[in-house]
């Protein structure tokens, strides 16, 4: 039976049990309960595990080094669900304390399993949204990494910050405008679209693209930007027609 198959009262009871046992593990410097919950088949058990760990990290400074130590040990576990849960926990911690977890992200970036690497992307996104400086610096470090998938991951990881502050991520995207690998190049175009539709964002993106040298990529990005204004019409500040008119006037 899954977490959301339970009644609300049963979910509260289960959550309290998870929290109590995780707290016992941290206090006793063990991780048997955490190991069990982090490997659970139910996504929501794993999610509650990393959220509880993140909350305990924030609330109890005396626990912080222990929690970091536990995460470091479990990132070496053979079970990808456990490693994925620990990466998500790093994302929670990194919202405020990114410098303490980025070294472990450097390991997780190269994980053999796609679910762990996807957790890295998700964690970079949520960290970068609220704690941008260390995350943008981290991403910049890997923009030209020899492995294409690493480049793709870090470009994807700066997307959320760009949705509200495109001016902060546009210089990084401009730096990789001549990316040759199609999968990575498409991610650059995707992110340009995703950072174009909120308040004051289209103007910043378009004005930046006017200065880019790779006109072929710019043309593809403009098509994507207009497509985003169709797909996200209920969330876009400008209508498709308004976005199209602004782009045509700018170019």
Mind listing the pLDDT tens digit for each residue in 177-207? 999 999 999 999 999 999 999 999 999 999 9
Query: Mean pLDDT, to the nearest integer, of 41-62?
Result: 96
In the predicted structure, residue 135 carries a pLDDT above the cut 90: yes
Which candidate, 131, 107, 201, 121, places its Cα nearest to that of 156?
121
Tell me what pLDDT residue 2 has: 84
DSSP 98-145: GGGTHHHHHHHTT-SSHHHHHHHHHHHHHHHHHSHHHHHHHHHHHTT-
- Flag whether 11 is in a domain: yes
User: Do 6 and 122 fall into the same domain?
Assistant: yes
Residues 60-74: pLDDT tens digits? 999 999 999 999 999
% of residues, the chain, pLDDT over 70? 100
Rg (CA), the chain: 21
% of residues, the chain, pLDDT over 90? 95
Q: At a CB cut-off of 8 Å and minimum separation 6, what does 74 contact?
A: 31, 34, 35, 38, 82, 83, 85, 86
Tell me what pLDDT residue 1 has: 63
User: Do 10 and 43 fall into the same domain?
Assistant: yes
- How many CB atoms lie under 10 A from the CB of residue 147? 12
Q: Would you place residue 77 in the very low, low, confident or very high pLDDT band (cuts 50, 70, 90)?
A: very high
Q: Would you place residue 3 in the very low, low, confident or very high pLDDT band (cuts 50, 70, 90)?
A: confident
CA atoms in the 13 A half-sphere facing the CB of 43: 3
Residues 11-20: pLDDT tens digits? 999 999 999 9
Are residues 143 and 155 in contact, defined by beta-carbon separation less than 8 angstroms?
yes
Q: Would you place residue 5 in the very low, low, confident or very high pLDDT band (cuts 50, 70, 90)?
A: confident
- Flag whether 138 is in a domain: no
- Flag whether 137 is in a domain: no
Query: Mean pLDDT, to the nearest integer, of 114-123?
Result: 94
User: Do 123 and 199 fall into the same domain?
Assistant: no
At which of 104, 130, 156 does a domain end?
130
User: Do 194 and 116 fall into the same domain?
Assistant: no
Looking at the 3D structure of the chain, how many domains does it have?
2
| Average pLDDT score, the chain | 95
User: Do 27 and 122 fall into the same domain?
Assistant: yes
Query: Mean pLDDT, to the nearest integer, of 210-236?
Result: 97
User: Do 111 and 15 fall into the same domain?
Assistant: yes
User: Do 55 and 168 fall into the same domain?
Assistant: no
**What are the contacts of 27-31 at 24+ separation with CB within 8 A?**
29/66, 29/69, 31/70, 31/73, 31/74
Which candidate, 193, 178, 249, places its Cα nearest to that of 223?
193
- Flag whether 136 is in a domain: no
In the predicted structure, residue 227 carries a pLDDT above the cut 90: yes
Tell me what pLDDT residue 93 has: 96
Are residues 212 and 177 in contact, defined by beta-carbon separation less than 8 angstroms?
yes
Q: What is the pTM of this model?
A: 0.88
Are residues 179 and 185 in contact, defined by beta-carbon separation less than 8 angstroms?
yes
CATH number, domain containing residue 89: 1.25.10.10
Which candidate, 166, 154, 153, 168, places its Cα nearest to that of 206?
166
Tell me what pLDDT residue 206 has: 98
CATH number, domain containing residue 186: 1.25.40
User: Do 51 and 98 fall into the same domain?
Assistant: yes
In the predicted structure, residue 219 carries a pLDDT above the cut 90: yes
In the predicted structure, residue 82 carries a pLDDT above the cut 70: yes
- Flag whether 135 is in a domain: no
User: Do 113 and 176 fall into the same domain?
Assistant: no
In the predicted structure, residue 123 carries a pLDDT above the cut 80: yes
Range of the domain at 33: 1-130
């Amino acid at each position: 039976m899954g977490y959301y198959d339970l009644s609300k009262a049963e979910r509260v009871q289960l959550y309290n049990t998870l929290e109590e046992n995780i707290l016992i593990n941290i206090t006793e410097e063990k991780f048997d309960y955490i190991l069990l919950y982090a490997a659970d088949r139910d996504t929501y058990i794993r999610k509650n595990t990393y959220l509880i760990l993140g909350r305990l990290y924030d609330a109890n400074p005396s626990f912080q080094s222990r929690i970091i130590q536990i995460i470091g040990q479990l990132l070496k576990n053979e079970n990808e669900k456990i490693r994925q849960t620990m990466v998500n926990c790093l994302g929670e911690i990194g919202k405020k304390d990114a410098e303490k977890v980025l070294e472990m992200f450097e390991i997780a970036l190269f994980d053999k399993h796609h679910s762990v690497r996807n957790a890295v992307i998700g964690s970079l996104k949520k960290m970068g949204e609220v704690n941008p400086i260390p995350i943008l610096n981290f991403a910049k470090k890997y923009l030209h990494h020899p492995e294409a998938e690493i480049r793709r991951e870090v470009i994807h990881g700066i997307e959320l910050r760009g949705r509200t502050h495109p001016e902060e991520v546009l210089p990084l995207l401009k730096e990789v405008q001549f990316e040759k690998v199609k999968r990575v190049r498409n991610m650059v175009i995707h992110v340009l679209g995703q950072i174009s539709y909120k308040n004051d964002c289209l103007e910043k993106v378009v004005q930046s693209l006017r200065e880019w040298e790779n006109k072929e990529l710019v043309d593809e990005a403009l098509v994507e930007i207009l497509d985003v204004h169709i797909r996200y019409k209920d969330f876009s500040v400008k209508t498709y027609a308004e976005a199209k008119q602004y782009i045509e006037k700018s170019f």
